[in-house]
Amino acid sequence: MRKILTFIAFAFSCTLAIAQPNRLITTGTIESLESKILNETRRVWVYVPGSALNDISGPKSYPVLYLLDGDAHFLSMVGMIQQFSRNTLCPEMIVVGIANTDRTRDLTTSNISGPIRMMGNAVAPTSGGSDKFLAFIEKELMPFIESKYPTQPYKVFVGHSFGGLTVINALINHPHMFSAYLSIDPGMWWDNEKLLSQAQSVLRNKKFEGKSLYMSIANTLLPGMDSAQAMADTTMQSQFFRSIMKLDGAFKANKANGLRYGSKFYAADDHNSIPIISIHDGLRSIFSFYQFNLTAAEIAGFNAETLKRIDAHYESVSKLMGYPVKFPEMMANALAYRFMGEGRMAESEMLFALNIKNYPNSFNVYDSMGEFHEAQGNKQKAIELYKKALSIREFPVTRERMERLLNEK
């Protein structure tokens, strides 16, 4: 099928346009689940990539990104992932944004009973529930998501501020839960830097092979104070910054533990403005191995060597992701039709064949190869391929084509 996405967009838009002249733009659903661990109802904002609805191409499943303060960051995260995944800068992903009930309870890592100076002497009697909250995510939320949506085992965990603290807690104390971590200006000052001290020791002694973390650091320095002064300072005002920088130092001093680590200080961003650029840079850093482009020269000189480079890239990506990742079906499909249009039949066939190898359960790969053979005059092969495609799903255009060829014989 040549223009599969156009077809789907058109069909989809027709269906909805009839139902409602001014269509709503929807990005996901809000789901509720009962948590026994937390003894309350929790709401999650769930986004599933649009390609999941498309049964013309092969069945798909996706890594899952769990996002703290989920309602606040949901839309910008989804928008970012849509843009990035379109350009192979990251995989398409399911996003699960966890909305808060008692935020301080769930996202802080130990209980502070008295007034908290850093918070203007506010008290937080319920604080210290991070481990329990992570148990909810692991034992209740993840199974819920995995039973309802097409997931892959690769999981990303993203949080800001106290959320960033819980992300670090997950890495240090529950490292089996996630593959990649984005900790945005984390509240490492919490409880006299208790988690920080623990992290400094764990990072020396545990292995983190196959995991990656990006940490962003906001400019929370007082006016006129620079980074060096803040590190030498001992006042509460600079502790927020200092505690994160100490953690940054611990990550950098323990590279032998195998963690793939990136971090950056954002001089132009404060604690509140930093999330969006952190999401941008964090996804780019975590998935720096993911991007794949064919150069103009490779397209011009496409041959078996190019196929090998494609295979080698996706083999290494699969290793890092922990499940088989293939050259995107629609990229191969589009390029194959382009070659066909240019009369480069050998190159075209290579790519159609690659798609059949990579996506054996896709209607589209057989339909496309059928069109290729029909264009070549190989009626019998075309009929067989259309038949194979139609055994996966019914499609009127393909059935007509097949019947026309059968009648011509």
Nearest CB to its own copies, comparing residues 328 and 370: 328
CB of 151 to its own copies, least distance (A): 18
Site residue total, its own copies (CB under 8 A)? 43
Asked if 334 is part of the footprint of its own copies (rule: CB under 8 A), the reply reads no
**Per-residue contact string for residues 289-328; x = within reach of its own copies by CB under 8 A:** ----x-xx--------------------------------
Asked if 27 is part of the footprint of its own copies (rule: CB under 8 A), the reply reads yes
Asked if 76 is part of the footprint of its own copies (rule: CB under 8 A), the reply reads yes
The helix or strand, by DSSP H or E, that contains position 40, with its residue range, turns out to be: strand 40-47
CB of 214 to its own copies, least distance (A): 15
Q: What 3-state class would DSSP assign to 356?
A: helix
Asked if 113 is part of the footprint of its own copies (rule: CB under 8 A), the reply reads no
In the list 5, 75, 330, 331, the residue contacting its own copies (rule: CB under 8 A) is 75
100 vs 96: CA distance, rounded Å: 13
* 235-274 positions binding its own copies, by CB under 8 A: 237, 268, 270, 272-273
Asked if 79 is part of the footprint of its own copies (rule: CB under 8 A), the reply reads yes
| Contacts for 390-397: CB closer than 8 Å, 24+ residues apart | 390/363, 392/361, 392/362, 392/363, 392/366, 393/55, 393/56, 393/363, 395/56, 395/363, 395/367, 397/1
Residue carrying the six token digits 């499609």:
395
In the list 66, 74, 157, 302, the residue contacting its own copies (rule: CB under 8 A) is 74
Per the CB < 8 A criterion, the answer to whether 226 and 245 are in contact is no
Backbone torsion region of residue 185, taken as left when φ is above 0, otherwise alpha when ψ lies between -120 and 50, otherwise beta: left
Asked if 357 is part of the footprint of its own copies (rule: CB under 8 A), the reply reads no
In the list 23, 139, 393, 404, the residue contacting its own copies (rule: CB under 8 A) is 23
Q: Can you list the positions of beta strands (E) in 85-211?
A: 94-98, 112-116, 122-124, 151-160, 180-184
In the list 103, 280, 344, 381, the residue contacting its own copies (rule: CB under 8 A) is 280
Amino acid (one-letter) located at 335? L
In the list 19, 25, 256, 304, the residue contacting its own copies (rule: CB under 8 A) is 25
CB under 8 A: which stretch of 68-76, 257-265, 328-336, 372-380 binds its own copies? 68-76
Nearest CB to its own copies, comparing residues 275 and 328: 275
The candidate with the shortest Cα–Cα distance to 44, out of 62, 26, 25, 71, is 71
Sign of the torsion formed by the C-alpha atoms of 142, 145, 147 and 152: negative
CB of 238 to its own copies, least distance (A): 12
The b-or-e profile of 244-283 (16+ CB within 10 A means b, else e) is bbbbbebbeebeebebbbbbeebeebebeebbebbbebbb
Asked if 101 is part of the footprint of its own copies (rule: CB under 8 A), the reply reads no
DSSP string, 198-231: HHHHHHHHS--TT-EEEEEEE--PPTT--HHHHH
Asked if 50 is part of the footprint of its own copies (rule: CB under 8 A), the reply reads no
Question: H helices of 37-127, where?
Answer: 70-86, 103-107
CB of 200 to its own copies, least distance (A): 29
Asked if 31 is part of the footprint of its own copies (rule: CB under 8 A), the reply reads yes
Asked if 223 is part of the footprint of its own copies (rule: CB under 8 A), the reply reads yes
8 vs 316: CA distance, rounded Å: 32
Nearest CB to its own copies, comparing residues 27 and 257: 27
In the list 6, 34, 40, 87, the residue contacting its own copies (rule: CB under 8 A) is 87
Asked if 21 is part of the footprint of its own copies (rule: CB under 8 A), the reply reads yes
Contacts of 205 (CB under 8 A, 6+ apart): none
Asked if 407 is part of the footprint of its own copies (rule: CB under 8 A), the reply reads no
Q: What is the binding site for its own copies (CB under 8 A)?
A: 21-32, 45, 47, 73-80, 82-84, 86-87, 89, 222-223, 237, 268, 270, 272-273, 275-277, 280, 284, 293, 295-296
